[in-house]
Structure 1
Amino acid sequence: MPHLKISSHSVQRTVHANELHEAHQAALDSPDFESLRPMFDWLSNRMTERRFRSETGTVKKSRKFKLAVSRAMAQAVVNSPSAERAYQRVNGPARVHFTRIILPVAGLPPSLDGLRVAQITDVHHGPWLPAEYIAAIMAQVNATKPDLVLLTGDYVINSPRYIDPVARAFATLRPSIGVFAVLGNHDWWEGAGRMRAALESAGIPMVDNRHVVVSPERSLITSRRADSPLGLAVAGVGDYWEDRVSADDALGGLPDAMPRLLLSHNPDVAEDAAFLSAGHRVDLMISGHTHGGQVRIPRLGTPVIPSLYGGKYASGWVDGPAFPVYINNGIGTSGVPLRYKAPAEVTIFDLTPAGLIL
């Protein structure tokens, strides 16, 4: 099992991959939460243990139903006269947690040692997360000096009018190599074509069911010859609920020895039988979608995790059946405009060749 060096704020330590997952679970320690009990009780009564599956076993909910649930959950908070002030105090950009991970990758060229990859996901720009907050977070990401920024979906919520503003915010990102993106289910619900066009107009290529390659010289390879040196592949798949997921389109044609990162908005792809049967190498899949549970109720757990696998893919490092997955908590919210014990997150991965980590 690979060792990871984890840095949270100014604290740094070396841990095993499974310890990272356990650390996220330890966030369920229980402070006094009496002031939030009415909302938690409402959530628990309405949503605990509810499952949304079609006859085929896939999570499929009508957009009308999803929006109805979202509005009903939001109403429980909106009824409070201090709701907006509380949201801004609790969920503003100063509250975003930057998780730093030193990630060993087998076969990574030595020249790519220290390559810094920032993951941003589930921004959910909308009425509860204004553009100025997102701009402030993008500035914080730029301050980490990333080489790559990878966006893993759900950029807006509630209306397509938020698409262009969030794309403009992403256009302020300044990695040394580039920004790449896949779409999430909310992007599809508000207009996948418009979202795709806005991101591409902002200079952000989409990698849904395709890949790009970073050369050992830290540039993008636009065409490869058989004798080209190996670099790092960055691949993506379409949203698991709303799009097509093709392992062959995303990863086919890459040399077996080439390391690769995979972007998938929904972590359930890690368990998909058709995807796994293709047999492609994946060194790490990065995902969002679950918001880390978003609201973790002390002694009760998380009312809603939109996954076929319950809490397995709620947050952090998970060893999937064929490859590891990192699930980022995301920045924004859906349903209830509140996070509790599931802090907003940006993840910074510093890559290193396996065997070189100290």
Structure 2
Amino acid sequence: MRAIRRTISETEALDRAPQPRPDKIGARTEKFAHHWDRLIERWSREFGSSFVEDYAFAGTERHRVLHRRVYDGRIEVTEHRIRVHNLPESFCGLRIVQLSDIHHGLFLPFHAVLDAVELANRLQPDVIALTGDFVTYSRAYIEPVAAILGTLRARHGVFAVLGNHDFRVGAEGVARALRHEGIEVLRNRHTIIRHGGHTLPIAGIDDLWYSADLPRALRGIRADSATVLLSHNPQIIRRAAYYRVSLVLSGHTHGGQVRLPFAGSIFGRSPERMRFKSGWDRLGPTQIYVSRGIGTVVLPVRVRCPAEIPHLHLQPHDSDRSLPHRPGSEN
């Protein structure tokens, strides 16, 4: 316990100090990171996290989600089969890799971002969704993280939205750096991917605490179109369900980041309190996946809540039941 207190004290001292340039992090910070690496490795051995889980029941319909967790270093690649109403036939099996809450900075150095990017590229996805919080505290980290994210490769493109930390550091600067690297930033708008004569809209909104505008992002999308929405904050779920969005990809919560036995996370430990905080869920016609993300905030540690890269496999729903009209949409 004394070692933990010393580390927290050092963290506070680092937070008060001027932010260093990413390429000139001193020996003190390296020693600090090494200490936490050893601590995390020890906790990983004590709290193993590989298991298979099937989700069942969502309202009156049973939705089975393949959820196979594969541990790779300190990042889990989680596999999910998501059944989507009105998914065009040519997009059957579309694979989306999600990277969220990278928080590049003192707690997540450049080489850790590189590891996540290399792992994502090895999956050879069709789409990569970046759901915000790329940096923490300092603008000095914007260009370095954008440069490494620019090496992401996906068949239909790499798409991003901004998180609350990106707005705190400078939303325009983050968006500009990502666009410079060829990443399409969706700020309250949507884009269309095309394959085999069919289309699939991918919409994105700014962080919910700042300038999110969901109606604007969905404007022009047909009411009967399967739609994927990127939103950093999962609290958008109720508005997304009102507009009958098919699938929302979010982050922000870190899955709680620290999950203590008996006490749970900062959100609590009951299923009701953890709803829409981590993993798959649905509300009405709208499914959501909330990633635990890559980085950390406040403390540079995860307990029983490993970093995650979700790998989503989209499949058409087995029901031909048509959905009601989407409010404000065009037919």
> What TM-score results when the alignment is normalised by the length of structure 1?
0.69
Q: Distance in 1 between matches of 2:201 and 2:171?
A: 24
Query: Structure 1 residue 260 and structure 2 residue 227: aligned?
Result: yes
The alpha carbon displacement at 1:36 in A equals 9.5
Q: Secondary structure at the match of 2:229?
A: strand
Gap change, CA 1:256 and 1:80, over 3 Å in 2: closer
Q: 2:206 aligned to 238, 256, 260, which one?
A: 238
Give 1:103's aligned residue.
82
Give the gaps of 5 or more residues in structure 2.
17-27, 45-71, 320-331
1:318, distance to aligned residue in structure 2 (A): 2.1
- Aligned pair 1:296/2:245, yes or no? no
SS class of match (2:274): coil
Task: Write the deviation string for residues 54-89 of structure 1: whole angstroms up to 9, x where unpaired.
Answer: xxxxxxxxxxxxx99x959xxxxxx99975224334
**What fraction of aligned residue pairs are identical, expressed as a percent?**
36
Which residue in the other structure is 1:52 paired with?
none
Greater than 6 Å deviation, 4+ residue runs: 36-39, 79-82
CA distance in structure 2 between the partners assigned to 1:168 and 1:38 by the alignment: 34
Change (3 A) 1:36 1:264: farther
1:85 to 15, 21, 34: 34
Q: Distance in 2 between matches of 1:125 and 1:37?
A: 25
CA–CA distance in structure 1, aligned partners of residues 201 and 179 of structure 2? 20
Contact 1:270–1:322 (8 Å) recurs in 2: no
CA distance in 1 between counterparts of 2:216 and 2:90 reads: 28
Q: Which residue of 2 aligns with 1:114?
A: 93
- C-alpha separation in 1, matches of 2:151 and 2:217: 27
RMSD (CA atoms): 2.9
State whether residues 120 and 152 of structure 1, in contact with CA within 8 Å, keep that contact through their aligned partners in structure 2.
yes
Task: Count matched residues.
Answer: 270
Cα contact 2:87–2:316 (8 A) shared by 1: yes
Residue aligned with 1:177, SS: coil
Q: Distance in 1 between matches of 2:102 and 2:78?
A: 16
Once the two structures are superposed, residues 115-172 of structure 1 have per-residue CA deviations (whole angstroms, 9 ceiling, x without a partner) of 1111100000001211111112111111101011000000001211000010011101
2:188–2:203 CA contact under 8 A, matched in 1: yes
Paired residue secondary structure (2:79): strand
CA distance in 2, matches of 1:253, 1:159: 37
Q: CA deviation at 1:355?
A: 2.2
Residues 293, 307 of structure 2: 8 Å contact kept: yes
TM-score normalised by L of structure 2: 0.74
Determine if the alignment matches structure 1 residue 320 to structure 2 residue 269.
Answer: no
For residue 171 of structure 2, what is the aligned residue in structure 1?
Answer: 192
Letter paired with 1:235: A
